[in-house]
């Protein structure tokens, strides 16, 4: 029998996916904000819930958010590979097969929804299922490539976690739950467009009609400012509905003024005018885009501070 | 000589199987605890 030469090339098998690749599919940074807002909704709701079931509810929201992230990455693998911000993701980089990521997302979503329904209530489970489908199918498949309003309409998915938390604790959907939804919903466009202003060349390359690509940077800067004018007063409303106390009120007023001020700076700047304004890191930008970078960074801090205040006021007796 | 990538793939598969087994065990424990808490609530109510 003929023998292969000793130095003949050996067919390489693909290196297997590592556990951290599957963890990355869950979009842990997005998940942390989802957990935080869902927990706030759960704590702020007037209903009584056993601490263990509350922990299960938050766990289900986290797993559901992770499932939505995995499905998004499975569907967007080719697009992600074209953009600097996303090309290192497991599917885009070829470390996890598209089908594996999709199956992982479906199994996690089914698990999260069923457990939420059995352990907590079916209203919260239904909302969780709706959120996963809304993000993974309605936003990722239908909206993202078809309209520059993608992030506005798709923002509802990111705004629902506090409503799910509220439903888990109370079994109902009160006005204050929808108020938290509205704050995140209106916060999403200026937050996302501030980032898009200095990453628009990436979006253009991938063919995604983000606002700076579709309508231009000037129109985007104006819309960021207009949204900030709606967001700042809206964030103060919980003080008048009984949801927020004095601590929340101070943060909402001061943070809102700072938000409008930074949005005004973006409007007056030339952010997004020149291609390639972003350097290697997410926050490393050239001088023209610094106003947009500052607003993007502050917007995260602002939302975090608002919900942290609600969490403290409702979670610590006597803090309100 | 065996392909180092194949042995690495074998190890990865073993790790994945252990992780899946652990996840399944945790799921069973979780469902048990949820059942106990809900039963206790219903008895108390």
Residue A95 has pLDDT above 80, yes or no: yes
Comparing A72 with B7, the larger pLDDT belongs to A72
As a whole-number percent, the residues of chain A with pLDDT over 70 amount to 90
**By CA distance, what is A111's nearest residue in B?**
B27
**By CA distance, what is A7's nearest residue in B?**
B1
Distance CA A285, CA A82 (A): 19
Whether residue A119 and residue B41 make contact (CB cut-off 8 A), yes or no, is no
Residue A119 has pLDDT above 80, yes or no: yes
Question: Is A31 an 8 Å CB contact of chain B?
Answer: no
Q: Which of A13, A56, A115 sits opposite B3 (nearest CB)?
A: A13
Torsion of CA A81, A85, A91, A95, to 10 degrees: 100
Poorest-pLDDT segment among A245-249, B13-17, B29-33? B13-17
Q: Which residues does B contribute to its contact with A (CB < 8 Å)?
A: 3, 5-6, 8-9, 12-13, 15, 19, 27, 30-31, 33-34, 37-38, 41
Q: Angle, nearest 10°, between helix axes A290-315 and A246-268?
A: 170
The gap between the terminal CA atoms of chain B, to the nearest Å, is 68
Q: Which of B6, B9, B37 sits opposite A52 (nearest CB)?
A: B37
**Three-state secondary structure call for residue A121:** coil
Comparing A257 with B11, the larger pLDDT belongs to A257
Mean pLDDT of chain A: 90
A-interface mutation test, from B10, B12, B39, most A Cβ less than 10 A away? B12
Distance CA A10, CA B23 (A): 36
Question: Is A122 an 8 Å CB contact of chain B?
Answer: no
A285: DSSP letter: B
pTM, 2 dp: 0.87
Instruction: Spell out which residues of chain B touch residue A10, defining contact as CB-CB under 8 Å.
Output: 3
Cβ density class A70-98: b for 16+ within 10 Å, e for less: bbbbbbbbebbbbbeebeebbbbeebbeb
Mean pLDDT of chain B: 85
Comparing A190 with A315, the larger pLDDT belongs to A190
Cβ density class A106-125: b for 16+ within 10 Å, e for less: bebbebbbebbbbbbbebbb
pLDDT, average across residues A52-77: 96
pLDDT, average across residues A259-284: 78
Residues 6+ apart with CB under 8 A from A40: A162, A165, A180, A307, A310, A311, A314
A-interface mutation test, from B37, B39, B42, most A Cβ less than 10 A away? B37
pLDDT band of B19, cuts 50, 70, 90: confident
Instruction: Spell out which residues of chain A touch residue B38, defining contact as CB-CB under 8 Å.
Output: 53, 119
Comparing B20 with A54, the larger pLDDT belongs to A54
Nearest-CA distance from A270 to chain B in Å? Answer: 50
Nearest-CA distance from A52 to chain B in Å? Answer: 8
pLDDT band of A1, cuts 50, 70, 90: very low
User: What is residue A19's predicted lDDT score, i.e. its pLDDT?
Assistant: 80
User: What is residue A20's predicted lDDT score, i.e. its pLDDT?
Assistant: 86
As a whole-number percent, the residues of chain A with pLDDT over 90 amount to 72
A147-206 residues touching B, CB cutoff 8 A: none
What is the value of ipTM here, to two decimals?
0.78
User: What is residue A277's predicted lDDT score, i.e. its pLDDT?
Assistant: 56
């Amino acid at each position: 029998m003929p023998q292969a030469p000793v130095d003949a090339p050996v067919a390489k098998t693909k290196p297997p996916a590592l556990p951290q690749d599957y963890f990355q599919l869950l979009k842990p940074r997005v998940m942390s904000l989802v957990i935080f807002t869902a927990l706030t909704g759960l704590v702020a709701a007037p209903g009584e819930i056993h601490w263990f079931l509350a922990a299960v509810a938050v766990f289900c929201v986290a797993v559901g958010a992770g499932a939505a992230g995995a499905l998004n990455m499975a569907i967007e693998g080719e697009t992600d590979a074209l953009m600097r911000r996303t090309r290192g993701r497991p599917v885009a980089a070829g470390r996890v097969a598209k089908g594996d990521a999709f199956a992982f997302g479906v199994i996690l979503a089914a698990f999260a929804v069923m457990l939420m329904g059995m352990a907590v209530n079916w209203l919260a489970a239904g909302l969780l299922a709706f959120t996963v489908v809304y993000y993974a199918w309605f936003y990722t498949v239908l909206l993202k490539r078809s309209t520059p309003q993608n992030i506005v309409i798709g923002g509802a998915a990111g705004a629902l976690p506090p409503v799910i938390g509220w439903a888990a604790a109370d079994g109902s959907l009160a006005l204050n739950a929808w108020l938290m939804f509205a704050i995140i919903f209106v916060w999403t466009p200026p937050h996302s467009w501030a980032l898009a202003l200095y990453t628009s060349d990436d979006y253009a390359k991938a063919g995604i009609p983000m606002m700076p690509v579709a309508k231009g940077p000037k129109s985007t800067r104006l819309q960021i400012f207009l949204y900030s004018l709606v967001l700042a007063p809206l964030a103060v409303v919980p003080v008048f509905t009984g949801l927020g106390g004095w601590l929340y009120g101070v943060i909402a007023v001061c943070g809102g003024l700072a938000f409008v001020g930074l949005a005004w700076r973006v409007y007056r700047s030339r952010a997004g005018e020149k291609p390639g304004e972003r350097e290697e890191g997410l926050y490393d930008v050239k001088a023209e885009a610094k106003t947009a970078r500052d607003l993007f960074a502050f917007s995260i801090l602002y939302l975090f501070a608002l919900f942290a205040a609600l969490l403290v006021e409702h979670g610590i007796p006597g803090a309100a | 000589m065996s392909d180092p990538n194949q042995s690495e793939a074998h190890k990865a598969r073993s790790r994945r199987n252990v992780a899946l087994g652990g996840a399944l065990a945790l799921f069973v424990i979780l469902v048990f605890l949820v059942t106990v808490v809900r039963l206790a609530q219903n008895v108390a109510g």
